[in-house]
Structure 1
Amino acid sequence: MNMKRNYTILMTAAMAAMLMWSCSKNNDHSDNIQIPYLTDSLRKVVTVATVQNHAFADELVLNGHVDCDPNNVAHVFPMYGGTVIHMGATVGDYVHKGQVLAVVRSGEVANYEKQMNDADLQILAARREKMAMHDMYNGGMASDRDLLQADKALKNAQAEKRRLREIYAIDHILGKSTYAIKAPISGFITEANINPNMQIRPDQDEQLFSIAGLNDVWIIADIYENDISKVKAGAAATIKTLAYGDEKPFYGTVDKVYPELNPESKTEQLKINMNNKDYLLKPGMFANVYVSVPTGHKAYPAVPAEAVIFDDDKDYVVVVDDKDVLSYHEVKLVKETGTVDYVASGLKAGDKIIVHNALLVYNSLK
């Protein structure tokens, strides 16, 4: 408890310092009243949300987990058999699209190199044949047909060279009987079944690498049969994880409710698409999913419960105006839930408020 209290004191002091700096920075005259602003440095430690009107809603608490978006997962298999001579990445590494994951020496690639050399020789021979045929044609010793056949032979040789170049580019052939295995997407390597000096085959069933792009993830939650009729696509949802608890909730909307039930658990699943640019949500994490269930009542301004500060028997929120000036307003609540509070007065739709670290900003403003 002491450590948490000390942390809160330090964070409050830091907030106060940021606000004092923003006051002095934005005042031209020292005798003016100092006004706290939402500066760029303060934006890094708080989150700002826009108030929206919502009808009263009950909440369903569902068990869920974080999963990869399968549309952004790639499994990498070898193009040719051979021996792994270099590893460029392994499990846990973040890789960019096109980055070399491994280099393989392959007899099949050596065969393509021979074909490339043969294609160069064929082009050279066909070009000489065409020149000779032109001379013969000009001398009356060759027909139009002979000239066309020589031109066609050169074009065929050049087409073969282009075909081989395409194979080199598509299969990342490097030369010296080697080719590179490259990342088809950007993301984290979640699985690697490859080692240096390992023999690989192009027909093997097991992938060499699995790569997951985690900029967006799915939250999958189970709905019990008696609650299925209450949950619709588009419903607001709050996600809390064991890793971050109440201090870092995530907000989204139900993207899809799947039509079939699991025959064993008798539950239906829903999916929530979540932006995960900071990579805080990791596949496999357990999550509690709070889904809003509208009750048909009048709509009120709704704010995340984290944004409301209870102080001296009153409720407050920290408001950001159009000029980024910070102030705290008293609000009257008409309904509270575990994640969302409904406001009867003191706020309106369109107002901007501080959500994350609102309490620390409020303490700094008092």
Structure 2
Amino acid sequence: MKRSMRLWWVLAIAACRTGGAPAPGHAEHAEAAEHAKAAEHGEHAEHGEHAGHDEHEGGEEEHAEGVVQLAPAALERSGVEVAQATAGALAGAIEVPAEVRLNPDRVAHISPLVSGQLLRVEVAVGDPVEPEQALATLRSVELGQARAELSRAGSLLGAAATNLSRQKRLRAEGINSERSLLEARLAWAQADAERDAARSRLLVFGVEGGSGPDLTLTSPIAGVVLDRHATRGENVTPDDTLFVVADLTGVWVIGQVYEQHVGLVTRGMAATLTLNAYPGRTWTGVVDYVGASLDESTRALPVRVELDNPDGVLRPGLFGALRLSSSPEGAATVTLVPDTAVQSVERRTVVFVPGAEPGQFVARPVTVGRSGHGQVEVLEGLAPGESVVTRGAFILVSELMRAELGHHDH
């Protein structure tokens, strides 16, 4: 066992050395290394076989446990530093560029449901409007025909109903035949179906009744006319958007969070808006939406804050900044480590903690949460107060991978 441990230390020192002349007093180590090499190729004595076997078993144990062993000289050269994990919450705030935008739920795009010619336009851009207020009037041949068909179908239904009543009375008096009554019932049913079909065709045009070819376009919401594409005498179709009306009493503010701060942003965090147009004035709200992906052109993550705008000063298109508080009051306390401590090994997220022996480090799997301001939340696998490698962890990853390659070679 002593020979196995000595051989293990020799191989670890040989793997960690970066080159140069052998240090004094290493002749014994070199001799042990030669024995290990002979054991690996089957050119050994009985004690060499045992040494090679012990070395192989020890290497498998270290690899399975994710153990890295550095010799004192290699440890000094590596610059590895150890510190304690702390308890807390990610603190600080970030400021991101932002723009005031329309709330799509408060916008109406108004188009005619039937082709026609504009007779009158009642509003201009900037005019306030109320629900059901007239915006324009158009004349449509299609609409006139549909209304005429409905009127005709209604008249036919009335005549069929009158005839059916008469046939029922005559049948009750025994004057007419059962056949005449059945024919009257059938005529009424057909007239009723035609009336329903004519009414349905009229509903496609957005109206339920009326007469003549004229149609009045109205606003479905209260708001302000933001855009108008309507001129008197112009022929329009259902593909034309004639008016855009927006309710500006509530707006969206869209912030752009860049990659280095993405881990700090969550729904519900406090947000403060400042605008270039109104120095010294602020608006407060909360983040109610965080984008699922980064914008391909800006490489930023959109976040949204919905704000009330009773005085109308938050005009869509204004630019400013959102200050996002990344540590809202009452945030949960978790384990925090520097982001340099967290490494990836074989698709696992790990940190390195000191082992039982000097120069020994163990890769410990952890579950991480958010990151920012140079810190990472550790949700599982590490407790506050535990020692963890905070500098030089990438060197330990390299040594661990080298040990793995050596294991596969054996």
Q: What TM-score comes out, normalization by structure 2 length?
A: 0.53
Of 120, 125, 129, the match for 2:159: 125
Distance 1:81 1:170, change over 3 A: closer
Q: Decide whether aligned partners of structure 1 residues 173 and 77 sit closer, same or farther in structure 2, where only a CA change above 3 A counts.
A: farther
Alignment of 1:233 onto 2:279: no
- Aligned mates of 1:198, 1:145 — CA distance in 2: 56
Q: Could you tell me how far 1:270 is from its partner in structure 2?
A: 0.5
Post-superposition shift, 1:276? 1.8
1:300-319 per-residue CA deviation (whole Å, 9 max, x = no partner) reads: xxxxxxxxxxxxxxxxxxxx
Aligned partner of 2:276 among 242, 255, 277:
242
Shift of the alpha carbon at 1:286?
Answer: 0.7
Counterpart residue number, 1:70: 104
User: Is the CA contact (8 Å cut-off) linking 1:95 and 1:183 kept in structure 2?
Assistant: yes
Match of 1:271 among 304, 308, 314: 304
Q: How does 1:276-287 map to 2 (within 5 A)?
A: 276-287=309-320
Q: Trace 1:184-333 onto structure 2 (pairs within 5 A).
A: 184-202=220-238, 204=239, 206-246=240-280, 248-294=281-327
Per the alignment, residue 109 of structure 1 pairs with 143
**2 CA distance for matches of 1:231 and 1:287?**
18
Whether the 8 Å contact between 2:199 and 2:208 is mirrored in structure 1 is no
Contact 2:270–2:328, Cα closer than 8 Å, also in 1: no
Greater helix fraction, Structure 1 or Structure 2: 2
- Quote how far apart the aligned CAs of 1:240 are: 1.1
The alpha-carbon distance between structure 1 residues 172 and 143, as it changes in their structure 2 partners (threshold 3 A), is closer
In the TM superposition, what whole-angstrom CA distance separates every residue of 1:35-87 from its partner, at most 9, and x where no partner exists? xxxxxxxxxxxxxxxxxxxx995221111101111122221221111111111
Q: Which residue identity lines up with residue 181 of structure 1 in the other structure? A: L
Identify which range, 109-118 or 171-180, moves more after superposition.
171-180
Distance 1:145 1:279 in 2: 72
**Gap runs ≥5 in structure 2:** 1-88, 333-410
Q: Which residue of 1 aligns with 2:215?
A: 179
Alignment-mate amino acid for residue 209 of structure 1: F
Paired with 2:229 and 2:305, the residues of 1 have a C-alpha distance of: 31
Computing the radius of gyration from Cα coordinates, the structure with the larger value is 2
Structure 1 SS opposite 2:310: coil
The gaps in structure 1 that reach 5 residues or longer are 1-54, 300-366
Per the alignment, do residues 298 and 283 of structure 1 end up closer, same or farther by CA in structure 2, a change over 3 Å counting? closer
The 5 A counterparts of 1:145-160 are 146-154=180-188, 156-158=190-192, 160=194
1:107: how far off? 0.6
- Contact conserved, 1:174 with 1:180, CA < 8 A, in 2? no
What is the deviation of 1:245?
Answer: 1.9
Q: 1:155/1:237 Cα in 2 relative to 1: closer, same or farther (>3 Å)? A: same
1:215 offset after TM fit, Å? 2.3
Q: Which letter maps to 1:294? A: S
| Structure 1 residues 37-56: aligned runs within 5 Å | none
**Which residue of 2 is the match for residue 7 of structure 1?**
none
- Is structure 2 residue 125 aligned with structure 1 residue 91? yes
Partner of 2:82: none
The range that moved more, 137-146 or 231-240, is 137-146
Residue equivalent to 1:358: none
CA contact 1:172–1:180 (8 Å) conserved in 2: no
SS in 2 for 1:65: strand
Question: What is the aligned-residue identity percentage?
Answer: 27
Match of 1:40 in 2: none
* TM-score, normalised via structure 1 length: 0.59
> Whose strand fraction is larger, Structure 1's or Structure 2's?
1
SS at match of 1:78: coil
CA distance in 2, matches of 1:297, 1:77: 49
